[in-house]
Every structure is written in structure tokens, then in C-alpha cells.
Homo-oligomer: A and B are copies of this chain.
Amino acid sequence: MSDKVAMEKIVSLCKRRGFVFPSSEIYGGLASCWDYGPMGVELKRNIKDAWWKAMVQERNDVIGIDTSIMMHPGVWKASGHIDNFTDPLVECKSCHLRWRADEIASDKPRTCTKCGGELTEPRMFNLMFKTFMGPVEEEASTIYLRPETAQGMFVNFENATTTSRKRLPLGIAQIGKSFRNEITPGNFIFRTREFEHMELEYFVKPGTDEAWFDYWVKERFNWYLKLGIAKENLRLRQHGKDELAHYAKDCYDIECLFPMGWSELEGIANRSDYDLTQHAKHSGKDLRYYDAESGERYVPYVIEPSAGVDRSLLAFLIDAYHEEMVEEETRVVLRLHPSLAPMKVAVLPLSRNEKLTPLAKEVYRQLCPNFMTCYDDSQSIGRRYRRQDEIGTPFCVTIDFQSLEDNQVTIRERDSLAQIRVPIKELEQTLQAKLKGERFDATALWATRQKSQ
């Protein structure tokens, strides 16, 4: 992404190769809703799995949870969402176009940028979707679709810590859908009304919160680096005092260089003891933690790294997108980290041939229980390589006529374009090692190739 790629190229690749489709497209779509296609769903799964592995599986100080989208309305009263989760809405009195007031520069005259009409005074608009539970609308309880997964961790703090018998510092992690009735969604899957959160609430002893805050800012920044996003496309930005949410003691955004400019990829906030204090007050439950070591009882502070799955997916796609000259043709390649690539291996018989097909299918059947593997036998091998490059498949395995004699196949590497020949019986092991063992640096691999030419 050293040369910023246009969003249109990403949207087009996503549609063409089955990453992302407009939702309900045959009905003209639904504003800002998107569906993940066969490649998109795998990429999304891989991002979530990578997060879960780093944040839950490999840590003895974090436990997972999966709470319901529909929660008791008391939760949103206590959290402040019913009263404060609002955006200032202004509307043009002539053409009825709507904006968030805070997105209009304050030095601009208050006239519509589209038709020049006069704008209304801002009014506060709550971003929570509401619905009705129970069979009769008038009587049924009004409930809300959660705008964040975080409250699920706070209201389960006691249940989760007690049953897991762990001590502080302790994190509770969750991945799941959230909903926000945004006034101005946009930029493809960057800001949508339905999206997926990956959130950690890390509970610590007051006084240790600042050190843990620093720790998590670094940890989360490094997570994106490890998964291949170029350092020059990431930066940290500390929130100014005037910008901090009322509950936050400190906050950093991890920003990424998107086509529309630097934008928030993830926020890491020191939420102080705000949430548990509020829930204790509103529920009447004592949510203090008993610290067996010091004999104290206190309300923990919370450090919250909050990321979006869809937004991360967009960042990984944009960063991985490259156009390169190969054999005097432009190739589009997604240099995705192997652990994120939707398909790990493509099995490609040189041609659709009655001798090659059975062997190729046998190779496919051997590999598919271990790796997401695709099988493709249509059109020329060159075009099939390009298709795999476009979806970021790290390895293509080609079965040719020689394979019928020596039981060997060719592995072609996406980044270096190097080809090596391996016995079929060593194929699984070789791919396993390549996918797992090697340090991943697609750019270095590409540079190696450029030099060797």
C-alpha cells in the first residue's frame, strides 16, 4: 500500500472474487449492509480466529464469553447509552438531506452543501436500534440491539470470574455482532450499521491501570504488524482531553491509512471503574472484587481494546493489495498473511484430462482435511495462477504429466513466484511447515524475486 490504492479497486475485487457483495443486491441493496461471499467469509473467520488465539487461547489471564445481542434494557440505562449514545443530527429544510452536525466544519455557513438550503438546529438522535419483545407491540418490552459487546462482559463480570476461579488481572473477551443506526455510514465496509466487534475488557487493580493501558496499546499495535500490515500504514493517536468519552481516563486510536485517509482501526480505552460502578448502582449488586492477596475489596479498573472485524478485514485487504508487472503483464496479488488467506492451497491439474484428474482429486482429498483447499481445473494454468493471486492463496500445487510418472508435484509460491518440486507423500508436511514455520514477509519475498531476475 505504499501507493494508496483506490477504494473502487478494492470494492471491485471484492465483488469479482467473492469477498463482499452488496446485501440483498437483487432487490437493489440495503443501505450500508454487506454480505461476505465465499472468500470473504473465510478471511473473516481467519481474522476472528487469529484474534481469539492471540487474546484468549494463548493467554492464561483472559477468558472468552459469548453474550446475547438482546439484553435487559436496564443495562443500557446504567451504561449511559439510553441517555448519551447520540449523535447531533441536522437536516436540510429544503432537500431533507441529513448530516451529523459534528461533521460539518464549524466555520462553514449553516447551508446545505447540496442545494444551498437552510439547515435545522442539531437535535440529538439515539443510535441504538430498538425492537419489541413479546407478542403485543404496545405492551411488549422495548429492547435494544446492543451497540457494543462490552456490556456483556461487565454484567457477567461476577459469573465469569467466579466460575473460572481466576484472579485479577483478568480479561474477558468477546466476538460478536453490534448494531448502530449511524446517520452517515459509508466507505464500503468501514462504517456500517451492522458490524462485528472483537472486544476485550481487561480488569485490573486501580493504580496498575496506567501500566496495563500502555501494555495493551503496544500489544494491539503489534498484533496488526504481526499479521502483515506495513508499519508505515499504522499509527497511534492519543485522544485529546476534549475528545475523551465521559467514562474514559485515557484513549488511543490505532489508525490505519485507508483510501479515504488516516482512520480509526481500533480504540484502546482506560474506562476507569465507570462501568462496574454504574452497574453496581443500577442493579443493586455488589460488584467489587475481593483481592485475596491484599485482603482488599475494590471496583476494578478496565482497559478496553475494541476492534472491528469488518474494518480490520478492509485494512488487511487494502494493505495486501498489490499490482505488479510479471512477464510483461500486470498481476493483481493479495499478499495476505498465510494465516489470513481464505484458501491456503489451490490444487491445479495442468489441464482437464482423464489421466490428470484422478490424481489431482486424490491430492485435493488428501489436503482438504488439513487446509482450506480449492480445486480448479478450468481455463489455462496461467489464468488460474492469476485467480489464486487475486484471492491471496499462498501456494498453488500443480499436477502435470510428469506427476503421473514420478509422483511429484510443483508448489508455486504466491510472493516469490518460486516453484519447487516435492513428492506427493511429503506434500502435506511441506505445506504445513511453510504455512507455520516461516517468518512471513511478503515484501521481502517479492524483493528477492526482483533481484534474482
Binding site for B on A (CB under 8 A): 15-18, 21, 23-31, 33-42, 44-45, 52-53, 57-58, 60, 63-72, 74-75, 89, 98, 125, 129-135, 143, 145, 152, 155-156, 158-160, 163-165, 174, 177, 181, 183, 193-194, 279, 282-283, 285, 287, 364, 368-369, 372-373, 375-376, 378
Contact = CB atoms under 8 A, between A and B. Distances in A.
Contact of A35 (B125, B152, B193): B152
A24 B66 CA distance: 12
Q: Which of A23, A31, A57: most chain B Cβ within 10 A? A: A23
Contact of A135 (B74, B135, B183, B373): B183
Nearest to A48: B45
B193 A65 contact: no
A70 B30 contact: yes
CB-CB nearest 5 A-B residue pairs = A18-B163, A24-B72, A38-B63, A35-B67, A36-B66
B41 A65 contact: yes
Contacts of A135: 89, 98, 125, 181, 183
A134 B181 contact: yes
Given A155-B27, A159-B37, A58 B368 contact: yes
A125 B33 CA distance: 28
A136 to B, nearest CB: 8
A376 to B, nearest CB: 8
Given A38-B164, A134-B181, 12 more contacts: A18-B63, A18-B164, A24-B71, A26-B155, A26-B283, A30-B143, A35-B66, A37-B156, A37-B160, A41-B65, A44-B66, A58-B368
Contact of A131 (B65, B67, B129): B129
A164 B18 CA distance: 7
Given A26-B285, A130-B132, A68 B159 contact: no
In the complex, the count of this chain's copies comes to 2
A272 to B, nearest CB: 20
A38 to B, nearest CB: 4
A230 B95 CA distance: 65
B70 A375 contact: no
Contacts of A145: 131, 145
Contacts of A45: 52
Contacts of A373: 57
Contacts of A160: 18, 37-38
A181 B23 CA distance: 23
A37 B163 contact: yes
B27 A194 contact: no
A67 B146 CA distance: 19
Contacts of A369: 53, 57-58
A282 B58 CA distance: 50
Contact of A156 (B35, B67, B72): B35
A17 to B, nearest CB: 6
Given A27-B155, A135-B98, A66 B40 contact: yes
A25 B159 contact: yes
Contacts of A164: 18, 38
Contacts of A193: 70, 133
Contacts of A375: 60
B35 A65 contact: yes
A66 B310 CA distance: 12
A67 B22 CA distance: 9
A33 B98 contact: no
Interface-central residue, A39, A72, A74, by most chain B CB under 10 Å: A72
A45 B16 CA distance: 30
Interface centre among A52, A135, A156, A372, by most chain B C-beta atoms within 10 angstroms, is: A135
A23 B163 contact: no
A72 B35 contact: no
B372 A21 contact: no
